[in-house]
Structure 1
Amino acid sequence: MNFSAIPRRRLIARGVGLAAATALVTPGVSGSVSSAYAADAVGTPPPVGNAHLKEALRKFRTRQERTLTGRPSANRWEMHQAVDVDSELVTCQVPGTGLSVALRAGDVETVLIHVIRRFHYEVDTLFAHEPRPLHGWIKPSEVRDSRLPESNQASGTAVAIRPDSYPPNSKGNFTAGQEEVIRDILADIEGVVRWGGHDRRPYEALFYLDLRPGNPRLASVAAKIRAWNETPGAGAGVLVDTSLPSRQRQSARYM
């Protein structure tokens, strides 16, 4: 089963960037190799015959494999043992909030950060000084049941917003107006993310990817969000009237 669904270009950019850093301290790798990494990271392929580069990449891939578990979370994405170091999971900054969270790099990161930002701007403001405003990745050893939606945190495909304030099995933590906005957020991203508050066993802090690896809808929605982020007057941070009939009809699909 192929658990990795990161776009190839994004994975190469991150992977080679990590390898570049380790190359500087890897015995037998000359300083000239780091320039080859830099060239590759911006899209210029290194010489095919560069044995040092090939060996450094081989070692990087070997280290990366050690972060994998072979164990899928509830949405079938593979759980990871670590973040940032030789991993597909990275610590992401959440623009406009002063917060960071560990998520799966690429399209998953794009979509979940959009959710966090809209929550911050339209549902309830998040503060860096409050205890655990965001909780992304968790260690696989902390997953007690991989069938539960929160297991998706271990694969970097879920985030809990204020998990201490909205614990599992607790319902009614949001006003009707706030829930209306949450449904609008889900509609914004075409249902690729599910809210734990809609589950039979509610967990209102949790937002998780509701697609298996390889589903093309993820890339499509992520591309839409990236276009919004580059367009003035679009995307998270631009307040919308969720009471408009057109938006109400759209969000009703995600009740």
Structure 2
Amino acid sequence: MNELTRRHFVGATAGFAGAVTIGSLGAPPASAAARETAWTGHRSANGWEVLPEARNFPIEGSDQSLHLAEGDAATILLYVARRFHYEIDQLREGDVRGHRTSRRIRERHESNYLSGTAVEIRPQAYPLGVKGGFYPPEMIVIRDILAELDGVLAWGGDFTTPKESHFEIAYKPGHPKVKGAARKIEGWNTGPGNEGAGSTDAFDPERQSRATSFALRSAATRAS
């Protein structure tokens, strides 16, 4: 956890998290393993091509790395991993995983690992079927990331069968919102360093207000 988050952690209120209830802790459903099937498609659930292998990218600011689809997907998902590392907790060995080749999945969204367009961060701590694993200040950071990327990123904690360790590209390849989000992040990466991962204050009241509004709109869309 970086100094920015540490300053806010104790004083942060649960009001924001309460606006988008994340449920309570519990054991994963006994049927989770029984649902395991083999993904047979040439594309993952989000429309990206299944890859036989993927390039390994370092996660800036940490000593960890991720195998991901090259291009916009890698730019976006590496940004998510960096913000988790800087603002929620330090990434350690075994904490983060991207592309894989095993086609065994339990939920459709897990097929997105096959295309290198999804990551899981601490899946043992935040397993399939469990909600409420993050503290309210940590949820503020997650909601800020989702709002900042304007729907390009989907979080498994919002799924019908939750998996809070899961983050994925929500749109098909070539979608203008994906390209726009990647360009924005690349601009931060090459800029003076006063924007993006490592400099964002998710606890700024204006950012919290925007993130709350975005979360409520997204929840209403999913419910419709």
Report the TM-score range of the alignment, normalised by the length of the smaller protein.
0.7 to 0.9
Does residue 71 in structure 1 map to residue 42 in structure 2? yes
Q: More helix by proportion, 1 or 2? A: 1
Q: How far has the Cα of 1:106 moved from its partner?
A: 0.6
Among 82, 98, 101, which residue is 1:117 paired with? 82
Contact 2:141 2:202 in 1 (8 A): no
Does residue 94 in structure 1 map to residue 59 in structure 2? yes
Task: Measure the CA separation in 2 of the matches of 1:101 and 1:122.
Answer: 18
- Unpaired runs of 5+ residues, structure 2, are 1-39, 217-224
| Structure 1 segment 150-169 matched on structure 2, within 5 A | 150-169=110-129
Q: How far has the Cα of 1:202 moved from its partner?
A: 0.5
Contact 1:171 1:204 in 2 (8 A): yes
Among 97, 102, 109, which residue is 1:135 paired with? 97
- Unpaired runs of 5+ residues, structure 1, are 1-68, 84-88
What's 2:51 paired with?
Answer: 80
What is the TM-score normalised by the length of structure 1? 0.65
Contact 1:80 1:140 in 2 (8 A): no
Higher CA-based Rg: 1
Task: Measure the CA separation in 1 of the matches of 2:72 and 2:118.
Answer: 13
What's 1:230 paired with?
Answer: 190
CA RMSD of aligned residues (A): 1.6
SS across alignment from 1:190: coil
What's 2:18 paired with?
Answer: none
Q: Larger relative CO (CA 8 A, sep 6+): 1 or 2?
A: 2
| Structure 1 segment 7-46 matched on structure 2, within 5 A | none
Task: Measure the CA separation in 2 of the matches of 1:249 and 1:75.
Answer: 29
| Count of aligned positions | 175
Letter in 1 for 2:44: S
| Structure 1 segment 52-71 matched on structure 2, within 5 A | 71=42
Among 151, 163, 168, which residue is 1:203 paired with? 163
Q: How far has the Cα of 1:149 moved from its partner?
A: 1.0
Q: How far has the Cα of 1:234 moved from its partner?
A: 1.4
Does residue 248 in structure 1 map to residue 208 in structure 2? yes
SS across alignment from 1:217: helix
Q: Percent identity?
A: 39
Contact 2:140 2:202 in 1 (8 A): no
Q: How far has the Cα of 1:70 moved from its partner?
A: 5.7
Task: Measure the CA separation in 1 of the matches of 2:151 and 2:75.
Answer: 14
SS across alignment from 1:178: helix
SS across alignment from 1:234: coil
SS across alignment from 2:74: helix
Task: Measure the CA separation in 2 of the matches of 1:201 and 1:227.
Answer: 35
CA offsets per residue over residues 52-92 of structure 1, 9 Å max, x none?
xxxxxxxxxxxxxxxxx8622111112122x2xxxxx2111
Q: How far has the Cα of 1:180 moved from its partner?
A: 1.0
What is the TM-score normalised by the length of structure 2? 0.74
Task: Measure the CA separation in 2 of the matches of 1:144 and 1:115.
Answer: 23
Please list every run of at least 4 consecutive aligned residues from structure 1 whose deviation after the TM superposition is greater than 3 angstroms: none
What's 2:19 paired with?
Answer: none
SS across alignment from 1:201: coil
What's 2:23 paired with?
Answer: none
Does residue 105 in structure 1 map to residue 70 in structure 2? yes
Task: Measure the CA separation in 2 of the matches of 1:214 and 1:243.
Answer: 32
Letter in 2 for 1:247: R
